[in-house]
């Protein structure tokens, strides 16, 4: 999470007020980039990812968050997705991941960068990306 630092080029999308996302929960947003999940941990860390499991397309915002592993577990089949890079961490690192987005708080407003930080093809293990 950044607090509006210099070099903020690019388009940022306003999502909600920070207080609208209770600590230790996630919130879904429909954006021009598709469904986005914003995850807020108790210590204040925020992550924004594409809100769909790459395996069965379940909403990850309904999943179990793990602060220590910076990940979320899919509510359908238990796949663990990294919130930092979108990679599938369990059951195997062999599935395409999800997009991740930079997120920041500016004047109490949660914003995400419109362009993804990582894209699924960038997350694929070597030899599997086309």
Check whether 8 has a pLDDT greater than 90. Answer: no
Q: What pLDDT, on a 0 to 100 scale, did the predictor assign at position 56?
A: 86
Please name the residue that has the structure tokens 């362009």. 115
Angstrom distance (rounded) from CA 90 to CA 69: 12
Q: What is the DSSP letter of 124?
A: S
SS3 118: strand
Per CATH, the architecture of 12-123 is what?
Answer: 3-layer Sandwich (2.102)
Residue 129 pLDDT level (bands cut at 50, 70, 90) = very low
pLDDT value of residue 2: 40
- Reduced 3-state DSSP string for 4-65: CCCCCCCCEEEEEEHHHCCCCEEEEEEECCEEEEEEECCCCCEEEEECCCCCCCCCHHHCEE
DSSP collapsed to 3 states, 62-104: HCEEECCCCEEECCCCCCEEECCCCCEEECCCCCCCCCEECEE
pLDDT of residue 3: 40
Q: Is the pLDDT of residue 7 over 90?
A: no
**Residue-range domain boundaries for the chain:** 12-123
Counting every residue written for the chain, the total comes to 130
Considering only residues 43 and 129, tell me which one the structure prediction assigns the higher pLDDT. Answer: 43
* Tens digits of residue pLDDT in 71-124: 999 999 999 999 999 999 988 766 789 999 999 999 999 999 999 999 886 555
Q: 11-58, pLDDT tens digit by residue?
A: 999 999 999 999 999 999 999 889 999 999 999 999 999 999 998 899
pTM value is 0.85
């Amino acid at each position: 999470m950044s607090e509006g630092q210099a070099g903020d080029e690019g388009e940022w999308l306003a999502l909600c007020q920070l207080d609208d996302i209770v600590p230790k929960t996630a919130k879904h947003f429909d954006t021009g980039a598709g469904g986005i999940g914003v995850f807020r941990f108790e210590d204040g860390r925020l992550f924004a990812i594409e809100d769909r499991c790459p395996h069965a397309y379940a909403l990850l915002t309904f999943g179990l968050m793990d602060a220590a592993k910076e990940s979320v577990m899919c509510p359908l089949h238990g796949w663990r997705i990294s919130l930092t890079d979108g990679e599938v961490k369990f059951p195997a690192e062999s599935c395409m991941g999800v997009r991740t987005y930079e997120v920041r708080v500016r004047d109490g407003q949660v914003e995400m960068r419109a362009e993804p930080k990582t894209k699924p093809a960038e997350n694929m293990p070597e030899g599997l990306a086309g």
